[in-house]
Amino acid sequence: MKKISTVTTKRVEKNASQKLTIGLDLGDRSSWYCVLDEAGEVVLAQKVATTPKAMKEVFGGMPRSRLALETGTHSPWVSRVLSELGHEVIVAHARNVRLIGESRKKDDRLDARTLARLVRIDPQLLAPVKHRSAQAQADLMAIRARAGLVRARTSLINTARGLTKSYGERLRGCNPRNMNAAKAKELSPELQAALAPLLGEIESLSERIGEYNERIEETAKQGYPEVARLKQVKGVGTLIALTYVLTLEDAHRFGKSRDVGCYVGLQPGRRNSGQSEPQLHISKEGDPYLRTLLVQGAHHILGPFGADSDLRRWGLKLAERGGKNGKKRAVIAVARKLAVLLHRLWVSGEAYEPLRNQREVALPAAA
């Protein structure tokens, strides 16, 4: 790794009285950074190892500057390290920086320079995002690890069922939690020998997932009392509520509860031009796992075991008049309303009333 020479260090110190702007293009092992002075001239452009120690050595000796970097695997911890050093850190939404993503001259050094020039002109051009705290990220990692085990278990179950069907037999029972080696007793000896290790791994994964479930429950009870408030909504369990709280982290970052629907990517896209106003699909921006959980919650609310509520009644009416894809649209619409409702309960601290609209209609009638 190329070290910073005495000459380049003096060039940065010479501009210490100026407001420096830095663009940092993060890589897995090394990253390029570009330093601009107030006139927009390049003061320094070099590599730095993508490690906390190297970041502190390089940027710790620089004067307080405005620094831009793109979202990515390393951006959460890098942004925290640089903020602790006193820099103004702008984390750019990678999908919105088209000058970099769609450029035909893809080069890390040029990308760092482009980031520096964009943040020097106007930080809002980078659609800045806010990373969650280290504690929230650590708690959320347990949820993401559990999700990885669930995906692995689903893949193994599908493999086992496919193999038995191709042999003219079937695995009885559809509950993944009860999928174990005992299921193979009804199969032929050939299949028992082939699937016993596979079913054993499925049973082991179910045990690990159960351990994660207990850990998630404990985390919610000890550190996040607002989870209990969100669980008042039938169809929202600890997993959905805690993931929602950890992903948003700060409920007051949104001016209106309706903004949360856009944040999780459940708002239809817009492309209005002239007299054309086409109906587009949802944007699918934001955290995909939280969006998946909200959709699962909406399925339960609209399903046969969903409790009676204003949200359920509204969703069922929407599904009835929606045509061929009415049920799918209703699920997405209910998921969006669910995201808004959870934020409202979180901010206001009010008790959830499932049939609040019906009560408000009945009061004037009784009067």
Q: Which amino acid is at 259?
A: D
Looking at the fold, whether 229 and 305 belong to one and the same domain comes out as yes
Q: How high is the pLDDT of residue 363?
A: 54
What pLDDT, on the 0 to 100 scale, is given for residue 14? 57
Coil vs helix vs strand at 49: strand
What does the DSSP assignment read for 81-112?
HHHHTT-EEEEE-GGG-HHHHT-SS--HHHHH
193-210 average pLDDT score: 91
pLDDT digits (tens, 9 = 90+) for 69-95: 999 899 999 999 999 999 999 999 877
Per-residue pLDDT at 99 exceeds 80: no
Average pLDDT score, the chain: 86
Whether residues 24 and 111 fall in one domain: yes
pLDDT tens, residue by residue, 118-162: 899 888 888 888 888 899 999 999 999 999 999 999 999 999 999
CATH of the domain at 117: 3.30.420.10
Other beta carbons less than 10 A from residue 157's beta carbon: 19
Reduced to 3 states (helix: H, G, I; strand: E, B; else coil), residue 329 is helix
Q: What is the pLDDT of residue 1?
A: 45
Residue reference for tokens 């942004």: 79
Contacts of 281 (CB under 8 A, 6+ apart): 268, 269
Q: Give 284's DSSP letter.
A: -
Q: pLDDT of 25-46, one tens digit each?
A: 999 999 999 999 988 899 999 9
User: Once rounded to an integer, what is the mean pLDDT over residues 311-340?
Assistant: 90
Residue 17 belongs to what H/E stretch?
A: none
Domain containing 93 equals 6-126
**Three-state DSSP class for residue 351:** coil
Residue 246 covered by a domain: yes
Q: How far apart are CA 350 and CA 367, in angstroms?
A: 25
Q: How far apart are CA 246 and CA 362, in angstroms?
A: 38
Q: Can you tell me the mean pLDDT for 235-258?
A: 93
Is the pLDDT score of 2 beyond 50? no
Check whether residue 210 and residue 75 sit in a common domain. Answer: no
Question: Same domain for 87 and 176?
Answer: no
What was the pLDDT predicted at 180?
76
Task: Judge contact between 238 and 227, C-beta under 8 A.
Answer: yes
| Contact yes or no for 357/310 (Cβ under 8 A) | yes
The residue type of 325 is N
Confidence of residue 285 (pLDDT cuts 50, 70, 90): confident
User: Is residue 49 pLDDT above 90, yes or no?
Assistant: yes
How much is the pTM?
Answer: 0.83
Give the pLDDT score at 29.
94
Residue 53 lies in a domain: yes
Cα distances (angstroms) measured from residue 273 to each of 125, 239, 278: 22, 41, 9
Rounded to whole angstroms, the Cα distance separating 289 from 277 reads 30
Spatial neighbors of 236 by CB under 8 A, at least 6 apart, are: 230, 297, 338, 342
Q: Is residue 1 part of a domain?
A: no
Cα(315)–Cα(294) distance, integer angstroms: 14
Residues 100 and 162 in one domain: no
